[in-house]
Amino acid sequence: MYFDNKVIWITGASSGIGEALAYELAKQKTTLILSSRKKEALEKVREVCLRVNKEIYIEVLDLEKYDSMQGIADKVIAQHGRIDILINNGGISQRSLTKDTILEVDKRLMDINYLGTVALTKAVLPTFLKQQSGQIVTVTSLTGRFGTPYRSAYAASKHALHGFFDSLRAELVNDNIDICMVCPGFIKTQVSINAFVGDGSALNSMDDRQDNGMDVTIFAGRMMRAMRKKKKEVYIGKKEVVMIYIKRWMPWLYYKMIAKVAVR
């Protein structure tokens, strides 16, 4: 099995996609390192994972404090000897019009979603290069490929990740290191509840599209299949995924549709 005997590090593992991945990967013969800002929530996820796998560890980190990523990565690598798969899943969303969004919110989204992820990847990269093996999986969003209303700063941070990891993939083509970009559509998680609004506070409500999104366990299974197949980029969701192809092949139609799409 692809995941057997691998050391896998998941960020954003205390809820949502990261939590679902932890439960599914724990069923494999893996060593899991679960990370997020929320220690108590991580402990609860770990307790569930321990029912089927004893090699489950916690490492608390805050992606917004990206200067701390090197020290945390050094600690994790020293404890486990290697990292086989890094799953960059941690991040935060947005629900606000650009005109209503203070610049500090744009900065925080870039710090958390982009710089935190890049800093952790750079901290782990020397180990992958030394091993001459590894997989870096980064969860972005369909909005990493097209922008929508109410997501300007979020889309910017996700677009930035695609630029960074496309470049990194090209640099690592001879190093046996695979990079997979995973672009979710609407997945039924708490992401909208925690999303920033214009003043930097949390939305604290579930939006309809998120509530009717794909079941997160189904999503996790499809993501794991993409990882096994070493896909370079994959789009996972319901009918919203079609917007990727409309923009690619019929941009005139995309620009008409996207201004009217209900994304709140």
So which residues are the catalytic ones?
Answer: 154
Asked if 21 and 139 touch (Cβ cutoff 8 Å), the reply is: no
Instruction: Give DSSP secondary structure letters for the chain.
Output: -TTTT-EEEEESTTSHHHHHHHHHHHTSS-EEEEE-S-HHHHHHHHHHHTTT-S-EEE----TT-GGGHHHHHHHHHHHHS--SEEEE-----B---GGG--HHHHHHHIIIIIIHHHHHHHHHHHHHHHHT-EEEEEE--GGGTS--TT-HHHHHHHHHHHHHHHHHHHHTTTTTEEEEEEEE-SBSSSHHHH-B-TTS-B--S--HHHHTSB-HHHHHHHHHHHHHTT-SEEEESSGGGHHHHHHHH-HHHHHHHHTT----
Asked if 15 and 189 touch (Cβ cutoff 8 Å), the reply is: yes
Asked if 125 and 82 touch (Cβ cutoff 8 Å), the reply is: no
